[in-house]
Amino acid sequence: MPDGIYQRMFEREREARKRAEELLESMSLELFAAYTQLKKSSEELFTIFRSVTDGILTFDSTGIIETLNPAVERIFGYANEELVGRNIAMLLPNRELEFPLDDSFWLNRCSEVQPKFSTQGLNAKGKVFEMELSVSRASQAGREFYVWIVRNTQQIRSIERKIAVSQRLEAIGQLAAGMSHEINTPIQYVHENTKFLRDAFEAMESVLSQVEHHLSSDPTEEPSTLSNRFRELFGGNRLAFFRTEVPRAIAETIHGSNRVTSIVQAIKEFAHPGNNEKTALDLNHAIASAITVSGNHWRSECEIETNLDPNLPMTLCHVAEINQVILNLLINACDAIVENPMQASRPGKIVIKTWHEAEFVKLSISDNGMGIKRENLDRIFTMFFTTKAVGKGTGQGLAMVHSIIVEHHGGNIDVVSQPGEGATFIISLPQSL
Amino acid sequence: MKGVVFTEFVDFVETKYGLELVDLLFSNCQLESGGAYTSIATYDVKELLQLVGELSRQTDVSPSKLVVEYGRHLFRFFARTRASMMSHLSSCEELMASVENQIHVDVRKLYPDAELPSIKFERVSDLQSKVHYQSARPLADLAEGLILESVVHFRDPITVVRKDLPPGDGCIAEFVLTRNV
Ligand code: HEM
Ligand SMILES: Nc1ncnc2c1ncn2[C@@H]1O[C@H](COP(=O)(O)OP(=O)(O)OP(=O)(O)O)[C@@H](O)[C@H]1O
Ligand SMILES: [Mg+2]
């Protein structure tokens, strides 16, 4: 066989090898890039999985726990290795689960409309707690498994309670400036009147000491001369002026200090954190207090008219919470009046009414402010919904009002509004038996 | 077309006709790749048709016959090197039924740029079935060779009848497999 053939064959083989090496090199580069990318995205996913605050847990159709994130460890108080390989039933109190799971048990309780449901969990310390669960079924490479997303609602509730307290303190904070003014005004005229009484007393004191002096200096003096002197002493208008003004100043001072006392009392009632017990409350009294505390807030903007049912039954409630409700509604009404572009042509007015109907005690607060746009009516009770300028509203007021009335008291709240004309909030509370 | 189809073709020519003919084909064909084939690269199917044409001129055997023959060679190669892909199969029909959904699927995992035909298997009766070939490349002859050799491989008493379907350019064909009783 001629040499040329082997020469050419050798050349072709060498070319082929070079080509193959090039290709392998670029493939391994691609592979490396793909691997790096994959690693990065799986690390990202893993970080998300580990850092979410909701618990994520998977188990197979026989209930054996396969994976879980640190939130599950926190919620149930077990370490990862104490759960993996064990049965999911250990996380549920008094519940005998049958495996394979009957889908209707979990999945029917989770739908698109209602993706989660409330149930009870059992933690490592044997404590039963409220949790919110969403369950879904997943399959990977033909293997079926279940995914739990768990949230400890008890913890959330306690956070909500803290927000509630801070919201109340904030409502009071908003009023603080106004309240100091409320107290300052009567204190000021108590102060003025007391100064006046001091002057009056000095003047009278000088008359009295002269009288004393006359009486003791010359016992032989003619009674007529004496009475002349006294007439002189009393003659100036000054004494007559004091005799009419002092009782007025005293009355005003008493009124002023009463007013301070009642304001302080109202503030105390409002700021009082309240205990967990419900107590009987006279709603009319609570309204009067709220009007007092918030006086400085509304006085320059509008007038408040009350139409209170004198035979209003008591209502059993958390007093501090109901105070907060009234205050929030009152401040909202006042804000609506201030923000009303028509305010100049229409004096602001808030009307507060109480009445009773069947087993309910009712309260309405109406204002003639800017009203609520139709598209916002559904949203005003949502947490953090506000139309107020940055730094003004936080959108927590009505959300708190709603949860206090509906959830804590089994009551009801309604709102009617004609945009541009005003708004009325109506509250029903069950009356105490 | 994957390089393996080319390297095996060269192997086929060399085994059957010798190294000189391989050298002659490459000298006469002026291929874009220069004939330096490697199984992991990809080449234009035109080069294969060029080589087949030249081989036909040199041997006086029709291109069609050559490609069928090459198909047989290729099947033996696959049966040898990819035995694991077929080890669980016990008949020619079973193999034909799994090309589309299994074998070629695995091929695509290895070579994402593979250009594979559609091979549809249809059982007509206990004794008869049909394999429908359709491709963007005119390689019905190759399919025929692969099928014929698989009959040999499984020692199946099967007769294969090929029917070319319009437009008759070798891109569409039907093979009727009948078991002899
Ligand atoms: C283990 C068995 C098999 C393997 C590993 C295999 C693998 C391959 C590979 C790598 C190609 C080249 C793809 C490309 O060029 O991009 C190919 C093409 C082809 N295969 Fe298979 N194959 C197998 C079995 C079969 C069988 C049994 C048939 C029977 C009809 C078949 C019919 C074809 C045809 C006709 C082509 C040429 C491409 C076309 O016509 O478009 N293969 N196969
Ligand atoms: N009496 C009302 N008239 C018109 N709009 C009102 C009235 N009361 C509430 N709204 C609307 O409902 C929104 C939500 O009220 P909400 O009390 O929840 O929050 P806010 O007053 O904006 O803020 P926050 O009370 O937390 O300081 C308000 O921003 C306002 O748009
Ligand atoms: Mg508010």
Q: Say whether both B31 and B96 belong to one domain.
A: no
pLDDT at residue B151 greater than cutoff 80 = yes
| Res. A207 pLDDT band, cuts 50 70 90 | confident
B41 within some domain: yes
Query: Any bridge partners for residue A326, and if so which?
Result: none
Whole-number pLDDT of residue A403: 86
* Residue A54 burial class via C-beta count within 10 angstroms: exposed 0-12, middle 13-18, buried 19 and up: middle
| Res. A173 pLDDT band, cuts 50 70 90 | low
Q: Phi/psi zone of residue A63: left (φ > 0), alpha (ψ -120 to 50 degrees), beta?
A: left
Q: What percent of chain B has pLDDT over 70?
A: 100
Nearest C-alpha neighbor of B58 from the set B11, B15, B30, B26: B26
Domain of residue B97: give its range. 90-179
Whole-number pLDDT of residue A244: 83
* Residue A297 burial class via C-beta count within 10 angstroms: exposed 0-12, middle 13-18, buried 19 and up: buried
Q: What percent of chain A has pLDDT over 90?
A: 23
Residues of A in Cβ contact (< 8 Å) with B20:
1, 5
Whole-number pLDDT of residue A294: 83
A25 interfaces chain B, CB cutoff of 8 Å = no
Is A70's C-beta closer than 6 angstroms to any atom of ligand 2? no
Whole-number pLDDT of residue B145: 97
B32 interfaces chain A, CB cutoff of 8 Å = no
Put the strands of the sheet holding A117-122 in their side by side order. Answer: A65-68, A55-60, A143-152, A128-140, A117-122
ipTM: 0.70
> Using an 8 Å Cβ cutoff, are B25 and A5 in contact?
no
User: Which residues lie below 8 Å from residue A201, measured CB to CB, with a gap of 6+?
Assistant: none
Quick check: A16 and B26 CB within 8 A? no
pLDDT at residue A176 greater than cutoff 90 = no
| Res. A111 pLDDT band, cuts 50 70 90 | low
pLDDT at residue A241 greater than cutoff 90 = no
Query: Any bridge partners for residue B160, and if so which?
Result: B177
* Least confident interval from A23-32, A286-295, B13-22: A23-32
Whole-number pLDDT of residue B133: 95
B83 within some domain: no
End-of-domain residue from the set B43, B61, B79: B61
- Phi, psi dihedral angles at A264 (to 5 degrees): -60, -40
Is A413's C-beta closer than 6 angstroms to any atom of ligand 2? no
DSSP H or E run through B160: strand B158-164
**B25-31 contacts at long range (C-beta below 8 A, 24 or more positions apart):** B25/B51, B25/B54, B25/B55, B25/B58, B26/A8, B26/A12, B27/A8, B28/B54, B29/B54
Average pLDDT (A391-402) is: 82
B35 interfaces chain A, CB cutoff of 8 Å = yes
Please tell me the number of the ligand nearest to residue A167's CA: 2
A31 interfaces chain B, CB cutoff of 8 Å = no
Q: Say whether both B55 and B131 belong to one domain.
A: no
Whole-number pLDDT of residue A112: 55
Q: Say whether both B17 and B57 belong to one domain.
A: yes
B84 within some domain: no
Tokens linked to A99: 């495996």
Whole-number pLDDT of residue A19: 84
Cα(B102)–Cα(B105) distance, integer angstroms: 5
B34 interfaces chain A, CB cutoff of 8 Å = yes
Q: Say whether both B57 and B94 belong to one domain.
A: no
Upper half-sphere CA count for residue B16 (Cβ side, 13 Å): 16
Whole-number pLDDT of residue A161: 65
The residue of chain A with its CA nearest to that of B18 is A1
User: Which residues lie below 8 Å from residue A427, measured CB to CB, with a gap of 6+?
Assistant: A325, A362, A363, A364, A405, A411, A412, A413, A414
| Res. A100 pLDDT band, cuts 50 70 90 | low
Q: Say whether both B127 and B175 belong to one domain.
A: yes
Whole-number pLDDT of residue A35: 86
The residue of chain B with its CA nearest to that of A19 is B38
Quick check: A20 and B38 CB within 8 A? yes
Atom 28, ligand 2: residue with shortest CA distance: A386
Q: Say whether both B101 and B161 belong to one domain.
A: yes
A33 interfaces chain B, CB cutoff of 8 Å = no
End-of-domain residue from the set B12, B40, B61: B61
Q: Say whether both B52 and B97 belong to one domain.
A: no
Nearest C-alpha neighbor of A385 from the set A332, A311, A431, A330: A332
Whole-number pLDDT of residue A248: 86
Question: What is the Å distance from ligand 2's center to A199 Cα?
Answer: 51
Which residues lie near ion ligand 3 (Cβ < 5 Å)?
Answer: A 332, 397
Q: Say whether both B94 and B175 belong to one domain.
A: yes
B37 within some domain: yes
Choose the closest CB to A1 out of B19, B27, B34.
B19
Quick check: A5 and B40 CB within 8 A? no
For the stretch A252-266, pLDDT in tens is 888 888 888 877 877
Is A419's C-beta closer than 6 angstroms to any atom of ligand 2? no
Whole-number pLDDT of residue A267: 74
Cα(A192)–Cα(A33) distance, integer angstroms: 85
Q: Is A57 helix (H, G, I), strand (E, B) or coil?
A: strand
Provide the CATH number for the domain around residue B136: 3.90.1520.10
Whole-number pLDDT of residue A101: 57
For the stretch B161-180, pLDDT in tens is 999 888 888 899 999 999 98
For the stretch A185-202, pLDDT in tens is 788 888 888 888 888 888
Cα(A126)–Cα(A78) distance, integer angstroms: 11
pLDDT at residue B125 greater than cutoff 90 = yes
Residues of B in Cβ contact (< 8 Å) with A15:
34, 36
Q: Is A412 helix (H, G, I), strand (E, B) or coil?
A: strand
B74 within some domain: no
Q: Say whether both B113 and B172 belong to one domain.
A: yes
Is B170's C-beta closer than 6 angstroms to any atom of ligand 1? no
Q: Say whether both B12 and B49 belong to one domain.
A: yes
* Mean of all residue pLDDT scores within chain B: 92
Whole-number pLDDT of residue A274: 63
pLDDT at residue A94 greater than cutoff 60 = yes
B52 within some domain: yes
Whole-number pLDDT of residue A106: 59
Quick check: B37 and A5 CB within 8 A? no
Whole-number pLDDT of residue A306: 96
Nearest C-alpha neighbor of A267 from the set A164, A167, A172: A172
Quick check: B34 and A19 CB within 8 A? no
Choose the closest CB to B41 out of A8, A9, A20.
A20
For the stretch B29-88, pLDDT in tens is 988 888 889 888 899 999 999 999 999 999 999 999 999 999 999 999 999 988 888 888
Whole-number pLDDT of residue A168: 63
Whole-number pLDDT of residue A22: 83
Whole-number pLDDT of residue A116: 73
* pTM of the full structure: 0.49
Cβ neighbours of B136 (radius 10 Å): 11
Q: Say whether both B104 and B142 belong to one domain.
A: yes
Please tell me the number of the ligand nearest to residue A381's CA: 2
CA angle centred on B52, ends B51 and B53, rounded to 5°? 90
For the stretch B88-101, pLDDT in tens is 899 999 999 999 98
pLDDT at residue A319 greater than cutoff 60 = yes
Cα(B116)–Cα(B45) distance, integer angstroms: 12
Average pLDDT (A37-60) is: 88
Please tell me the number of the ligand nearest to residue A426's CA: 2
Number of separate domains in chain B? 2
Q: What is the DSSP letter of A64?
A: B
Q: Say whether both B95 and B51 belong to one domain.
A: no
B158 within some domain: yes
Whole-number pLDDT of residue A115: 63
- Phi, psi dihedral angles at B143 (to 5 degrees): -60, -45
> Using an 8 Å Cβ cutoff, are B120 and B113 in contact?
no
Out of B88, B100, B107, mutate this one to test ligand 1's pocket (max ligand atoms within 8 Å of CB): namely B107
Average pLDDT (A144-172) is: 74
Choose the closest CB to B23 out of A9, A15, A19.
A9
Cα separation values, A241 from A99, A204, A230, A349, A390, Å: 97, 11, 17, 41, 55
B78 within some domain: no
Whole-number pLDDT of residue B116: 93
